[in-house]
Amino acid sequence: MPRPSKNSSAKAAPPAVASNKSDRLDARVLEALVGYNARRAWLIITGVFAERMAPYGLKQIDFSVLSLLAHNPGATSRQLCNTLDILPPNLVSLVATLDSRGLIERRPHPHDGRAVGLHLTEAGEKLIGEAEQTVAQLEAEASARLTARERETLIRLLQKIYL
């Protein structure tokens, strides 16, 4: 089949981007999806989170484990896995890393001789205390366009999906 010439009357392909009038595309279908909106918000918040946690050397999962241990001293690995919905092998390496950084320590569980309780060290308590303050500020900034009631409602509604 011969190729159309430059002067051919064949229709030109539509532009890859929106017209100069507006760079905004019609995203009504996407914007009506919970997953799309959750992902867009997640991308913004996690980007800022990574920036602000870099000085502490913490990723989201590190922060989550340390925060849980700060508020639940002696929690077991199984409890952490259940709460954070992560697989035990993934937690093993994470606990080892936090232990090697001197942020947590293992102690015999007071009620279950087979279990080991995880506790923050003094360095871990100091680090998570500062990190939680930073995250509280980040969260306030990220949700600044919401009223306190809207923020509470948003959190409650998101939790209805995964809890």
Give the count of beta carbons closer than 10 Å to the beta carbon of residue 47: 10
Fold of 28-162: Arc Repressor Mutant, subunit A (1.10.10)
- Residue 139, amino acid: E
Rounded to two decimals, the pTM is: 0.81
Q: What beta strand segments (E) does 60-115 contain?
A: 104-108
Q: How sure is the predictor about 48, in pLDDT bands with cuts at 50, 70 and 90?
A: very high
Q: Render pLDDT for 93-131 as a digit per residue (tens, 0 to 9).
A: 999 999 999 999 999 988 877 889 999 999 999 999 999
Q: Render pLDDT for 82-91 as a digit per residue (tens, 0 to 9).
A: 999 999 999 9
Residue 13 pLDDT exceeds 70: no
Residue 9 pLDDT exceeds 60: no
Give ∠ CA 31-32-34 in degrees, rounded to 5.
95
Domain ranges of the chain: 28-162
Residue 37 pLDDT exceeds 80: yes
The pLDDT score that the predictor gives to residue 20 is: 55
Give the count of beta carbons closer than 10 Å to the beta carbon of residue 104: 21
User: 6-10, 45-49, 117-121, 145-149: lowest mean pLDDT where?
Assistant: 6-10
